[in-house]
Structure 1
Amino acid sequence: MATSSFQNDVTSPSVDNMGSLLSPTSAVAAAVPRSSALQNRITSVLSSSYADLDIRDTLSVLDERGLQNTADSRRNLRLDVQQELFECNGEIVRDFGKVAEQLQRVGTAIQSLNSSCAEMRKHIGTANRETGPMVEEANTLLQDKRHVETKQQLLDAFKAHFVVSDADLATLTSTAEPVDDAFFRILTRVKKIHQDSQVLLGSENQRLGLEILEQSSRQLNAAFQKLYRWVQREFKSLDLENPQISTSIRRALRVLAERPTLFQNCLDFFAEARETTMSNNFYAALTGAPLDHDHPVMGKAIELSAHDPLRYVSDMLAWAHAGTVSEREALEVLFVSEGDEIAKSIQAGIESEPWSRADEGDGGLAFDGRKALQGLVERDLAGVFRQLRQRTEQVIQSHEDATLAYKISNLLIFYGSIFARLLGEQSAPLETLTPLADSAMRSFRALMRDHVATLHGDLAITPDDLHPPEFFVEALDTLKALMKSYDISIITTDHAQRAEGFQPILQEALDPFLTGCENIAKRMRSPKNHIFALNCLIATKDVLRQYTFADRSSELQPRMAEHEAELTEATYTWFLHESGLHTLVDNVARVDDLSSSYKDPNQLASIAQQLDAFLPTATEDARSFLGQLEDRLLARKIIEQATERFCEEFEEMEGLIVQADDARAAQVNGEVEGEVLLREVFPRTGDEIRVLLS
């Protein structure tokens, strides 16, 4: 718009007033003001910002109209714009007229609605006045209905929680109904009712609480009596060998434990029944007679298959051990597999049965799962161990065999250690097996002493071959059997304890026989007594060193060394006598003795001849001399020691002979012609002797 005005103002004078501008008079008169106005206009145009939004919108509108920059368009632009503005204003006025008409119609409708609402308010007020009493009465009835419904809900909830239906009561107390999941479910509910009824005792209406408490107590007592009788019936037909023991009986025991008296009665009944069953089974295993035809005895009877008394006792102990293990495993499933549930139930039962607390001191009702399990197993096997004790005592008393008695004692000790690990150190089976083991050991000692007492005749006989006598060989054989039995039956691995435990056996089974051999040796002459003693001691040592716990080397070795020294001395003496050198050794200690005793060289010549005859076979003769010594290595050692000593003695005699010849030569001033030197008649040297005796 500013541009159009500017154009109109500029173009009009240039076109319409071209004549006046060109006239000289007007030009001079208007030159100065025209110039100022033009400058101001140009300045205004140039100072205008075409970045203004209004200018830009104006220019865009002009572009849309498609106007040409002509004189007519510039002259008519304002008029056209004003005309359009008028037309637009007229349209707006017409539109607002229509709106006014619509508003009038809306006002008329609102007045009509106000009239209708006023009329309705009148009718509502009239209706409220007429129906007010009925509404109040209806509200009262509705409130009473809500109270009745609340009381009905309370009554239904009370019945659902505190009242047991006749069908459930029959399931709980009737013996004709089975003890199943429904029974335990109802029993749990009645116990909950009994517990919750105590809450009612704290309310204003205590009579209701007392009645429910009394009724639930009667129901619980009847239920526990039913459960007690059912458990007893189940115990009669319970098969503990069945790996799938019914879960119902375990659950029943856990629940019955809440009545400690009934639970203990069931345990007593069960123990008696199991004792009878186990005793009958043991008797059937012994004799082969089945309890019934439906359950025959598997395998041969122990009395028929075990001809050896030790095997007989071993089979009985093995059966008792197997029965104990199986009984313990089965009872663990019944009484221990549920964890501490039974103990918790018994504790709860003691709290509900105050009169039972007086029996807690004797342990009758205090339930420790493991302890009760061990006690129950002991009671179940009491009959088995009574029969075992009787039959084992018969075996011990009817066989006069010390080895058998000792083996039975070790066997009983071995099984006693097994039962101690199973049932504890103070268990009833140990109270049975320990006296039996002691009885067998006493029988062993008595039989050994009786056997030693019967050896007086054998102790008076001296063996010609100097070998250990027959009674001693038998004693060593018996000792081997005893050591083997001790080795396989002893449990401890401590060497000192094993050795200490076997010492009493050695005192009974070895020492009396060694003493008898020593007494025999005392009646012999040397060297036979030493050979005989060494043979016995060596045989003893060889037997004892087979087991470390019986080794007595530290005790036997000094005695053997003593006899070895005596036998070496006897062999040395034999060398002197057989070689003839004993006459020199006995009579010559100095050079003067040699000169005075053997002035005649023929005497030494005879000794030399005897020595020469002895030397070629001296070693073989010495072996023959010690031929009855059973240890060849020891015999060789003794011969070597005696030979060494003989050579040393010979060298000493040789030195004296040489000194005697030197002394004789000195007496005759070196003139020895015609004299026979001792060395000439006794020419052997010590080296020659060592070579010949090596």
Structure 2
Amino acid sequence: MSAYTADLPNALDDRSGSDVNALKTSAPSARITSVLSASYADSDVREALRTLDRQNIHNTPETRRRFRLDVQREVIQRNGMIIQDFGHVAEQLGRIGKTLQSLNESCEVMKRHVAAARVENSPVLDEASTLLGQKRELETKNQLLDAFRKHFIIDEADLVLLTSASSPVNDAFFAILKRVNQIHSDCRVLLGSENQRLGLELMEESSRHLNAAYQKLFRWTQHEFKGLNLESPQINSVIRRALRALAERPTLFQTCLDFFAESREHVLTDAFYTALTGSANPMGSNPATKPIEFFAHDPLRYVGDMLAWAHSATVSEIEALETLFVAEGAEFQRSFEAGHQAEPWSETGQEDFDGRKSLDQLVNRNLAGVARALRQRIEQVLQNQEDPVLLYKIANLISFYRSTFTRLLGASSSLSDTLTALSESALTHFRTIASEIASSLNSDLPLLAKDLQVPNFLNEALSTLSSLLKSYDSALTATASREDEFAPIVTQALDPFLSACETMAKDAPEPDRSIFLTNCFLTTKAVLDRYDFVEAKRSDLADRLAALMANLVAYQHAFFLHSSGLHPLLSSLVGGEGVSLASSSREKIIEVASHPAFQPPRLREASMALDDFLPSALMDAMDNLRALGSKDVVRTVTADGAERFCEDFEFVEGIMVRVDELRAEGDGVDGQKGEGEEGEEENEGMKESPDDGERLRDFFPRTSGEIRVLLS
């Protein structure tokens, strides 16, 4: 294409000049113009130019003249080649047509043969189809039979392992037992089908196998219980599985537990007697430990050691059996429910299973023999004791362990009942001995001592009471009930002795009676003050002491009045026909001066007696109470008596001062004669005084301030 495009301008140049005008009007000119006006971007032109380029034609005048002919000749040649090739194709298609016709004929022949064969083999095919269907049905039935036998039928070897006594009880046994139980349960499905005979036969057979298996398990468990060692940290897992399995047969389970409880009761009872005597202990006690009866001479330790051994055995028994009933309580509950369905006539298992309650009941039965032996030994100790303190300490010790066993096993356990009875027995024996001591004391009371000190029998009783208080205080008793529980003990151990002291002092004069009883009550109160659970008794003693101290204060007051000489003056004012304290009229007060006790000689005597009394008044008064054991009480009582004396002195002093004032006023009124009857009566009253113009205070000069200073 590049060659043609390159020579095109030259050709145009050759036709320039004189021929240009002729060309413009000729046909070639028009074609040339058409060629020159053609766009070389046209795809057809470009494709034509590429075809010419592939022909390798040189752009020469000769070539240009023959170009059309050459092209037409080439086209004709090519068309001839195509026609020739299509002739070969037509020949091949003819042969193919003949072949297809031959094949069609063969197919028709084959169809006729096949139709004939189908007609001939149709019965055979029908029979084969029927056989194949029967085969599939038999295969399905065979699979069902295999599945049925695999699920419902137990192998002979498994039956031997399940029921034979010579076969061990292991995981394989429990697996087979579980499977047989499942078979027995699934047989109920078969009973709901049309043919119930198979279900009945299988259920009967499985029931027979289960009964044999549970009997084997029951005998094996009993045998294992004989040699079971509860000292090991945990019970054998196979035994625990066996008990869970036996729970599905409540009767066998209960029988097994009864056997176990009986066996453990013998073992624990033997172990208790071994601990008492120190012989060979099958439970493996420490040979270095001394037997409990080695300390039988000390009753408190002897009883304490026995109770401590019982407590230790109880705790060990609970810890060993706890894995059976508490840790796996849900498993037992399911087993008991299944057992109730298997044995609806059995009472066992009808209620919900309580693992803790079952454990407590089993441990309680295991320790029944120990409880009987313990009661026998402790009763022997109580019968041989005459010391009330020791009896009470033993009762407190028993009460402490009773509360401990109640928390461990419940209030209805044999040990709790036994210790409750023993505690009551010890307290009854204590009360009997205390009553005998009180009775013997009342029949032979000693005389009142000259020094008025606490008698020996009360000191002994207080020593006993102190031991009882200390023993009870160390016991673990509920705070709310401590005072109520100990009140009868205080009544039994103290009241008879205080009553004996009151009987001794009944005929004694004052102040000896009050001093003696005050000493007794103060000593008793000192013992009770250390404990807070005898508040009622301390309050009662405080009230009785207050009454006694009031008597002593009255005695000291009377001593001050009589020893000081003030009593005649005071009695003339408050008693008999004298001036009442409530009287405040002028006439009554003036009449005091005419009373014999207020005459100058008597007043001088009273004043001298008071002056003699005051220097040693307190010492003399306190010496009256020298037998009192508490100096603080002596000082308090004396101070109260002195205070009452000072109040009486102030009263007398006030009356005397008032009389002197009224008499002084009367002297002034006497100068005004004839002013009325009242003035005359007052003058007459004044004239009755023995010494007109003299004041009562001149003869009795002491003041209440001085008295208080001297008696303070």
Q: TM-score range by the shorter chain?
A: 0.7 to 0.9
Distance 1:636 1:111, change over 3 A: farther
Report what 2:550 is aligned to: 565
Residue 691 of structure 1: aligned partner: 709
**In 2, distance between residues paired with 1:158 and 1:470?**
98
**Equivalent residues in 2 for 1:321-340, closer than 5 Å:** 321-340=311-330
Counterpart pick for 1:423 among 406, 409, 423: 409
Amino acid across the alignment from 1:352: A
Give yes or no for contact 2:191–2:199 (8 Å, CA) kept in 1: yes
Match of 1:377 among 363, 380, 399: 363
Q: Does the CA contact (< 8 Å) of 2:234 and 2:323 recur in 1?
A: no
| Aligned counterparts of 1:62 and 1:461: Cα–Cα separation in 2 | 170
Task: Using the TM superposition, name which of 73-82 and 534-543 deviates more.
Answer: 73-82
Q: 1:347 to 1:674 in 2, by over 3 A?
A: closer
Q: Matched residues in 1 for 2:65 and 2:527: separation?
A: 151
* Helix, strand or coil at the partner of 2:226: helix
Give the structure 1 partner of residue 583 of structure 2: none
Residue in 2 that maps onto 1:55: 42
Q: Tell me, yes or no, if the aligned pair for 2:329 and 2:354 is still in contact at 8 Å.
A: no
Show the 5 A alignment for 1:218-297. 218-292=208-282
- Partner SS, residue 337 of structure 1: coil
CA contact (8 A) 1:290 1:296 kept: no
Q: Distance in 2 between matches of 1:599 and 1:296?
A: 97
- List per-residue Cα deviations over 1:157-197 (Å, max 9, x = no partner): 34433333332222122211211111112222222333334
Cα deviation 1:567-588 (Å, max 9, x = unaligned): 1111111122333333443456
**In the aligned structure 2, how far is the partner of 1:629 from the partner of 1:89?**
172
Task: State the partner residue of 1:576.
Answer: 561
Structure 2 CA distance, aligned partners of 1:101 and 1:14?
53
CA distance in 2, matches of 1:667, 1:365: 111
- Residue deviations 1:425-478, cap 9 Å, x none? 333333222222222222222222222111125644213322332222332332
**Is structure 2 residue 169 aligned with structure 1 residue 179?**
yes
Q: Which amino acid aligns with 2:42?
A: I
2:466 is the counterpart of 1:467: no
How far apart, in 1, do the equivalents of 2:375 and 2:563 lie? 69
| Aligned counterparts of 1:622 and 1:77: Cα–Cα separation in 2 | 181
SS of residue paired to 1:454: helix
1:401-440 matched pairs, under 5 angstroms: 401-440=387-426
SS in 1 for 2:505: helix
- Residue 254 of structure 1 contacts residue 341 of structure 1 at CA under 8 Å; is this kept in 2? yes
2:611 aligned partner: 612
Q: How does 1:499-514 map to 2 (within 5 A)?
A: 499-514=483-498
Say if 1:512 and 1:133 are closer, same or farther in 2 by CA, change over 3 A.
Answer: same
Q: Does 243-252 or 626-635 show the bigger shift?
A: 626-635
TM-score by length of 1: 0.81
RMSD (Å), alpha carbons: 4.7
Q: Does the CA-based 8 Å contact 1:595-1:660 persist in structure 2?
A: no
Quote how far apart the aligned CAs of 1:312 are: 2.3
Alpha-carbon shift at residue 227 of structure 1 (Å): 0.8
- Distance in 1 between residues matched to 2:64 and 2:373, nearest whole Å: 143
Percent identity between the two aligned chains: 45
CA distances 1:607-635 after superposition (whole Å, capped 9, x unpaired)? 43433332222222222222222333332
325, 329, 348: which one pairs with 2:338?
Answer: 348
**CA–CA distance in structure 1, aligned partners of residues 566 and 440 of structure 2:** 48
What whole-Å deviation, never above 9, does each CA across 1:548-600 have from its counterpart, x for those lacking one? 22113443333322222221111111122333333443456567566553687
Q: Check whether the contact 2:218–2:252 (CA below 8 A) recurs between aligned residues.
A: yes
**Superposition deviation, residue 277 in structure 1:** 0.9
Please give the alpha-carbon distance, in whole angstroms, between the structure 2 residues aligned to 1:620 and 1:75: 185
1:648 aligned to 2:647?
Answer: yes
Q: Would you say the 8 A contact 2:340–2:350 is kept in 1?
A: no
| 2:518 aligns with one of 503, 519, 534 | 534
| Alignment match of 1:547 (pick from 520, 526, 531) | 531
Cα distance change on mapping 1:528 and 1:120 into 2, 3 Å: same
Q: Which letter does structure 2 place at the counterpart of 1:577?
A: H
Q: 1:691 to 1:295 in 2, by over 3 A?
A: closer
Distance 1:195 1:91, change over 3 A: farther
Determine the structure 2 residue equivalent to 1:480: 466
Shift of 1:258: 1.7
Give aligned pairs, total. Answer: 667
> What's 1:299 paired with?
289
CA distance in 1 between partners of 2:526 and 2:494 (Å): 13
Deviation at 1:273, TM superposition (A): 0.4
The Cα shift of 1:326 comes to 1.9
Q: 1:328/1:107 Cα in 2 relative to 1: closer, same or farther (>3 Å)?
A: farther
Partner of residue 306 from structure 2, selected from 306, 309, 316: 316
User: 1-side partners of 2:221 and 2:337: how far apart?
Assistant: 20
Q: Does the CA-based 8 Å contact 1:467-1:628 persist in structure 2?
A: yes
Structure-2 change in CA distance of 1:311 and 1:296 (3 Å): closer
Shift of 1:242: 0.8
CA deviation map 1:193-242 (0-9, x unaligned):
33334444455655544443333332222211111110000000111121
8 Å contact from structure 1 (residues 264, 365) kept in 2: no
Q: 1:255 Cα shift? A: 0.9
Which residue of structure 2 aligns with residue 446 of structure 1? Answer: 432
Report the TM-score when normalising by structure 2: 0.79
Q: Deviations over 1:108-143 (max 9, x none)?
A: 578658757965886794795798787777666666
Cα distance change, pair 532–144 in 1 and its aligned pair in 2 (3 A): same
Per-residue deviation at 1:398? Answer: 1.7
CA distance in 1 between counterparts of 2:412 and 2:357 reads: 11
- What is the aligned partner in structure 2 of residue 33 from structure 1? none
Determine if the alignment matches structure 1 residue 398 to structure 2 residue 376: no
Q: Distance in 1 between matches of 2:618 and 2:160?
A: 110
Question: Counterpart of 1:266 in structure 2: which amino acid?
Answer: C
Q: Find out whether 1:160 has 2:121 as its counterpart.
A: no
Equivalent residue for 1:585, pick from 570, 576, 584: 570
How far residue 531 of structure 1 moved from its aligned partner, in angstroms, is 2.1
469 and 207 in structure 1: CA distance in 2 versus 1, 3 angstrom threshold:
same
Residues 77 and 21 (structure 1), Cα distance of their counterparts in 2 relative to 1, 3 Å cut: closer
How far the C-alpha of 1:304 sits from its partner, in A, is 1.4
CA distance in 2, matches of 1:640, 1:486: 40
Structure 1 counterpart of 2:453, one-letter code: H
Contact 1:284 1:297 in 2 (8 A): no
